[in-house]
């Protein structure tokens, strides 16, 4: 009788160890946040929404720029919006990801590496795309006239003084490289990357990306379509990277579990 009870107990211990080794069931593997494929579908929705919004925003860019120019926000609100630029700037995004990389361990560090890749790819795509378009930034629209014979001119009608300088487009001239917004592309790429690391805080990351995008409008550095185009670019870049088999395997890998140590047999 005692031998039978001992055998039953050993079988129970073996089954528990196998369950711990195999990880939690699929329905519970993402109990700490939404599964990654849900993030993928949200990213698809964002890519489509921002792409359509960019086409529509071209029609109201001039109106938005004219009405934002005299806008005077309360000091604290304006300061808070301007501080969110750190979420969209390369240095600020890099410091956020560096802190996460140092603090993370194991599989979490691999997800941080994915966040770094998505953020860098999104920001790089946004900044390199500027070479394809010539568009005067809102703050420089009264001082610069782009030579139409030297490139594509996408700006709304420029209210320039008669003495304004007529300049040919140069890639290094930031005042005529408004489209798309590299800051917005970086902010939304960072938001998507951080949502992979901490799914429960995804709404907070999206809020920071929205505020960082608003900062570009309030600072008169971009038009509305510049910002939506940068966000759309980040979403499309993220979707492409999320389809890479290696990245999908990392996302689908269950979290590590501890095995219960067996008690020594007498």
Domain range summary for the chain, segments of one domain joined by +? 35-133+179-252
CA distance 186 to 189: 5
CA distance 3 to 136: 85
Q: Place 146 in a pLDDT band, splitting at 50, 70 and 90.
A: low
Cβ neighbour number for residue 135 with a 10 Å cutoff: 26
Cβ neighbour number for residue 200 with a 10 Å cutoff: 10
CA distance 125 to 25: 39
CA distance 214 to 216: 5
Instruction: Output b/e per residue, 45-72; b: 16+ Cβ within 10 A.
Output: ebbeebbebbeebbeebbebbeeeeeee
Which residues are CB-neighbours of 256 under 8 A, at least 6 positions away? Answer: 106, 107
- The pLDDT of 116-120, averaged and rounded, is 92
- Full-model pTM: 0.70
Residue 183, classed as helix, strand or coil, is helix
> 58-93: per-residue pLDDT in tens?
888 877 777 776 566 677 777 787 788 788 888 988
Quote the pLDDT of residue 85.
79
Backbone angles phi and psi of 134, in degrees to 5:
-115, 115
């Amino acid at each position: 009788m005692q031998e039978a009870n001992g055998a039953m107990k050993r079988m129970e211990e073996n089954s528990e160890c196998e369950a711990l080794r195999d990880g939690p069931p699929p329905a519970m593997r993402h109990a700490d946040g939404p599964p990654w494929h849900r993030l993928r579908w949200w990213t698809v929705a964002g890519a489509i929404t921002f792409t359509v919004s960019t086409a529509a925003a071209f029609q109201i860019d001039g109106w938005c720029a004219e009405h934002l120019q005299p806008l005077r926000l309360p000091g604290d609100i304006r300061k808070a919006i301007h501080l969110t630029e750190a979420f969209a700037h390369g240095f600020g995004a890099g410091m956020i990801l560096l802190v996460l990389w140092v603090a993370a361990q194991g599989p979490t560090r691999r997800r941080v590496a994915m966040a770094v890749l998505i953020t860098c790819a999104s920001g790089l795509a946004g900044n390199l795309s500027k070479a394809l378009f010539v568009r005067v930034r809102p703050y420089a629209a009264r001082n610069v006239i782009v030579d139409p014979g030297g490139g594509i001119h996408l700006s709304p009608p420029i209210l320039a003084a008669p003495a304004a300088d007529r300049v040919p487009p140069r890639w290094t001239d930031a005042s005529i490289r408004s489209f798309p917004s590299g800051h917005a592309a970086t902010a939304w790429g960072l938001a998507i990357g951080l949502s992979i690391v901490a799914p429960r805080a995804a709404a907070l990351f999206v809020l920071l990306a929205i505020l960082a995008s608003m900062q570009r409008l309030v600072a008169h550095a971009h038009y509305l379509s510049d910002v939506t185009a940068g966000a759309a670019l980040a979403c499309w870049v993220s979707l492409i990277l999320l389809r890479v088999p290696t990245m999908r395997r990392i996302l689908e890998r269950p979290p590590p579990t501890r095995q219960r140590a067996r008690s020594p047999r007498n």
